[in-house]
Amino acid sequence: MRYLIALVFSLALIACSKSGNDLTRFHEDGRAKPVVTVASVIDATSFDMPWSISEELTTLFISRISEGKSIFVVRKDDAAYTENPFSPDLSWMKREFPNNEFVVFLELTEHENIPVSKNNKKTVAVPFETSVHLKMGVRLRIVDLRNAAPQIVLQEMIRDSYFIPKSDIPIDYSRTVWGSEEYCKSPMGIAHAQLVEEISRRVSEYIHLAKSR
């Protein structure tokens, strides 16, 4: 458990300190990398933070998936399209994402602090008087654009939970802001890094599997 916490903390520090993408589209042996568009994360929650959780998770995800240098990532501003990326209709995607092989859509559907009672059940509690689980859920869809008709490579819900002890809860996130070293060390920063690590692993795994076919 200590090793896992240390690993997640290290990933959070790396993600906070790095940005952008490996600029070359090719591996050293000349093989082309999969060209992947990452749409901005859709935030369907009402969780209140001083900054955009969508922008934070999008930046963190692009940074993390780019670290392996095996995928060429292109960020797509969600203002560029108005269609629902999770609807059955995929016909518009080749038009909106030209010259790309894959497109990744993410929707944050759950982001909530659930107070924990002694019997490990949900309970109503006064803020900061009990430990909490930060429950998070992200809807993921990967679409393959290489053929005439777009095809869904993967669609699933990724859920994660991060335990935050009572002693770590009173953090003023208007002062401990996203992008600072303090935020990377905070429960929220570590929880987001842990969630993005799992998402990145799944996306990379399925894109490389589809690319090899």
CATH architecture of 2-211: 3-Layer(aba) Sandwich (3.40)
How far, rounded to the nearest angstrom, does the alpha carbon of residue 47 sit from its chain's CA centroid? 16
Q: How many CB atoms lie within 10 A of CB 67?
A: 16
Is the distance from CB of 65 to CB of 205 less than 8 angstroms? no
Residue ranges covered by each domain of the chain: 2-211
| pTM, rounded to two decimals | 0.82
- The pLDDT tens digits for 19-48 are 444 457 777 777 888 899 999 999 999 999
| Mean pLDDT, residues 155-170 | 90
Dist. CA 140–CA 153, nearest whole Å:
10
Give, for 171, the enclosing helix (H) or strand (E): none
In this predicted structure, the answer to whether residue 2 has a pLDDT above a threshold of 60 is no
Cα torsion for 165, 169, 170, 175, to the nearest 10°? 130
Q: Give the pLDDT confidence score for residue 203 in this predicted structure.
A: 96
| Residues 3-19 pLDDT 10s | 444 444 444 444 454 44
**Amino acid residing at 49:** M
